[in-house]
Structure 1
């Protein structure tokens, strides 16, 4: 549930009365996606809409990225011939408004007072709802959940049951846009690995993680420490099997299960993970990697990063406290390997031009709740569909002509 912010509503109303210069430029292109234009008006509307919802990602950059993704989703939806019914649209709009404890009419009126057009609200909801319909139609038959998977997931989630721990090897290959096709081909080849040694040889050759020198081999770790989206994928593997390539920002990830066992220790779960991400210009260049190594030697806790970010734009340092399921997948993968105060430099942003100095700040433990088999199966299914949706969107982006003004 979200709450409308009264102060932002008032501020938005004032902004809506801005001078004619804004009106003259509101239909200027902010981005071009294939043959369609994302206008400055749409960007301004999206920023205002998200701020009113008190949602994350209400910056101009995030708004443009969100609208680009919606254009790509819309093209895929149109190509599939999906057209939502008016009844379905109305239900989705009512459901969204109910999250703020308002009716659709009340919610639309509140947005209008803040200068947000009803079409902005309608397009946002329709795109999300129809995209989910497309993912279910396209991938639903490919996602099957076995009874054994449910048993293992219940075992891992039950606080009174034995914990499951796994031996996993990893490969994360940097894939900036100009190298995406080549990396995809390499990743497909790696996914056919038949032995731990073969996978490790690939890790030493291609991986960007700290485990590269060890052939990507990670020590035993609790299954519950892995990102929620990764847990069912690992559970579905037999020893020496490899996941399908997973598309993450500017990279492709693969994981191999080497061994799995139950222990007598209760499983640990976490309600929230706190982390900091400091973005360093230069990507994975030798100079930037050396700067990151120097920084790593100078910081012990996340608070230390503020001194290094001082005087730079606020966007160079993010500090978040999120439930594990809400953390970006690539961040979650790296954080699962870190203890408090430890650092990863395996990831990039900005098409590979910014190195992510990712630091674990802390974890908040949580006692697992009782869950039904249906809930577990539904959770596994949703995670897999979400992963497939992310992969499809990444493919659409890789194939698209995108220009940001």
Structure 2
């Protein structure tokens, strides 16, 4: 009799827990034929915190809102990818390079340590791979659609390299890429972003305002040599101290705010051809990112988003 009572209690607890979970894990957004649940947003929250540890001090409700926006953007991209590719897949070796780029930005040296780090933060590694694969397929889609529109002035780049051939100055930057309805709104938008940067940090502001693919990484970019930067950007960051950030810089499709995270100067005899290739890749990616933002904004208008 005692065992039966215990069994009844256990069943009651399990059913109660399942009921609680069903209430908590509810559908919060419908996007065409895709759904987003409260559990999806919770997992996105953990993912964003894991990739941006500095966000841990931010208010949870603020990050939940950003997590919701982030996963809505991901779902929209996924829908568009399925429209354009049959059985889309990223090669394993390329995915491994992307993973390395992600975990190196948060100071982790190898994949095993990254997996352990994710597990400690209750983030599923396969889910992270899936997210990075979606972003990679999106980038491939943008390349297919817009690569013929890329324009690079190789002669101008060579001149810049030769001008700086005695030493190499590089910047470790973060970015916030954004747009405004009209130029009249720019000052107020910049003031709003500046207030968030000063109160909550550049990482949080990038996650909140940036429409660049780097937003989920707090806007972090890799080291960029000074010769890779156009004169307009170089002029804006030249006098900045570490952790300083620029005023909005006009770029195709919107505006850019850059923060200087670190600076290094190296005396080096630059391999002109190698540096040229690096800068051309940077220019190409920069232009593709602009097309990516414009294309995303275009398709978003044709997607039905119902927030429940």
TM range (shorter): 0.5 to 0.7
The 3-state SS of whatever aligns with 1:386 is helix
**1:81 aligns to 2:85 (yes or no):** yes
Q: Which residue of structure 2 lines up, in the alignment, with residue 25 of structure 1? A: 23
Give the deviation of 1:122 after TM superposition. Answer: 3.2
**1:96 aligns to 2:103 (yes or no):** no
Structure 1 residues 108 and 90, CA, compared in 2 at 3 Å: closer, same or farther? farther
Give the aligned length: 233
Q: What RMSD over aligned residues (CA atoms) do the two structures have, in Å?
A: 4.9
- By relative contact order (CA 8 Å, sep 6+), the higher-ranking structure is 2
Query: Which of the residues 41, 60, 63 maps onto 2:64?
Result: 60
Counterparts in 2 of 1:246-325, with a 5 A limit?
277-278=194-195, 317-320=199-202
* Distance in 2, Cα, partners of 1:40 & 1:328: 23
Give the deviation of 1:392 after TM superposition. Answer: 1.4
Q: TM-score, normalised by structure 1?
A: 0.44
* Distance in 2, Cα, partners of 1:395 & 1:55: 32
* Distance in 2, Cα, partners of 1:147 & 1:362: 26
The 3-state SS of whatever aligns with 2:30 is strand
- Contact 1:77-1:131 at 8 Å conserved across structures: yes
The 3-state SS of whatever aligns with 1:145 is coil
Structure 1 residues 82 and 95, CA, compared in 2 at 3 Å: closer, same or farther? same
Q: TM-score, normalised by structure 2?
A: 0.56
Query: Which of the residues 264, 276, 290 maps onto 1:373?
Result: 276
Q: Which residue of structure 2 lines up, in the alignment, with residue 388 of structure 1? A: 291
Gaps of 5+ in 1: 1-18, 162-171, 176-182, 184-205, 211-249, 252-274, 280-301, 306-316, 347-358
Give the deviation of 1:42 after TM superposition. Answer: 1.1
**1:140 aligns to 2:144 (yes or no):** no
> Quick check: which one's helix share is greater?
2
Counterparts in 2 of 1:3-402, with a 5 A limit?
23-55=21-53, 59-85=63-89, 88-89=91-92, 92=95, 96=99, 99=104, 100-103=108-111, 108=115, 111-112=118-119, 114-154=121-161, 174-175=180-181, 207-209=184-186, 277-278=194-195, 317-320=199-202, 328=210, 336=236, 366-367=264-265, 370=270, 372-402=275-305
Gaps of 5+ in 2: 1-16, 57-62, 169-177, 213-218, 220-231, 250-256
- Contact 2:150-2:287 at 8 Å conserved across structures: yes
Give the deviation of 1:345 after TM superposition. Answer: 10
The 3-state SS of whatever aligns with 1:140 is helix
* Distance in 2, Cα, partners of 1:362 & 1:113: 30
The CA deviation string for residues 198-253 of structure 1, in whole angstroms up to 9 with x for no partner, is: xxxxxxxx64456xxxxxxxxxxxxxxxxxxxxxxxxxxxxxxxxxxxxxxx99xx
Structure 1 residues 144 and 82, CA, compared in 2 at 3 Å: closer, same or farther? farther
* Distance in 1, Cα, partners of 2:47 & 2:262: 31
* Distance in 1, Cα, partners of 2:261 & 2:97: 36
Q: Which residue of structure 2 lines up, in the alignment, with residue 237 of structure 1? A: none
The 3-state SS of whatever aligns with 1:278 is helix
* Distance in 2, Cα, partners of 1:41 & 1:160: 51
* Distance in 1, Cα, partners of 2:289 & 2:21: 38
- Contact 1:343-1:360 at 8 Å conserved across structures: yes
